[in-house]
């Protein structure tokens, strides 16, 4: 019996269109049995998909329809696309990414958080550095935090001369100083 099971697993190849089929199910709204409302915009969803892909959202929807107002409807749509078909959002601003990461953290969508962190790195610049550094610390985004510190090291002169530096929390100033003036 055990050999038969392993043999079946060896030959089974999941359908490459599964993600596409699930996304189409979301887009068509056919057979949906719950509603998530985001800032007045309703999203018809399927409890079975949420059960399999996002248990926190499934648990929340068990007591009735859910309202989520911490992100825009466009962001919620992109998060649902990821839940259904692992479609990765690629058009988010840094601010949108932060709000999406916050919600994804509550929903325990850790794979999407990793993708969002990677896309956030594209938004790093001297201009956005302090905001990204501060928010990455608040949300415990270690990868982004380290990328910011690397940017600090690369642009140390402009960081030191920045008026935003004086508004940073003391522990962040220490961390920035350690990057610019490493101890020997």
Residue 89 has a pLDDT of 80
Residue 17 has a pLDDT of 87
Q: Residue 49 contacts by C-beta under 8 Å, 6 or more apart in sequence? A: 22, 25, 26, 83, 84
**What is the Cα–Cα distance from 113 to 83, expressed in whole angstroms?**
12
Closest CA to 43 of 17, 70, 75, 18: 75
**Per residue of the chain (184 residues), what is the pLDDT tens digit?**
444 444 444 444 445 688 888 999 999 999 999 999 999 999 999 999 999 999 999 999 998 889 999 999 999 999 999 999 988 887 788 778 888 888 998 999 988 888 887 777 777 676 777 777 777 777 777 767 777 777 777 777 777 777 777 777 777 777 777 777 777 6
Residue 12 has a pLDDT of 45
Confirm whether pTM is higher than 0.85. no
Residue 15 has a pLDDT of 52
Residue 127, helix vs strand vs coil: coil
Q: Are 141 and 101 in contact (CB under 8 A)?
A: yes
Domain 17-95 has what CATH class?
A: alpha beta
> How distant, in Å, are the alpha carbons of 30, 108, 112, 142, 177 from that of 105?
28, 5, 9, 14, 30
Residue 184 has a pLDDT of 63
**What is the Cα–Cα distance from 127 to 19, expressed in whole angstroms?**
38
């Amino acid at each position: 019996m055990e050999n038969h099971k392993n043999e079946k697993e060896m030959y089974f190849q999941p359908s490459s269109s599964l993600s596409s089929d699930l996304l189409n199910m979301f887009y068509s709204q056919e057979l949906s049995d719950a509603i998530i409302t985001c800032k007045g915009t309703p999203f018809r969803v399927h409890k079975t998909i949420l059960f399999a892909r996002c248990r926190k959202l499934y648990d929340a929807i068990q007591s009735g329809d859910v309202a989520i107002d911490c992100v825009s409807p466009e962001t919620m749509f992109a998060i649902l696309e990821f839940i259904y078909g692992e479609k990765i959002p690629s058009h988010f601003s840094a601010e949108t990414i932060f709000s999406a990461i916050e919600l994804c953290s509550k929903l325990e969508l850790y794979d999407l958080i990793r993708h969002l962190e990677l896309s956030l790195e594209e938004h790093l610049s001297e201009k956005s550095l302090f905001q990204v550094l501060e928010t990455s610390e608040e949300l415990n985004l270690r990868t982004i935090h380290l990328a910011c510190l690397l940017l600090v090291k690369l642009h140390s002169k402009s960081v030191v001369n920045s008026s935003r530096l004086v508004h940073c929390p003391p522990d962040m100033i220490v961390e920035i100083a350690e990057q610019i003036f490493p101890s020997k």
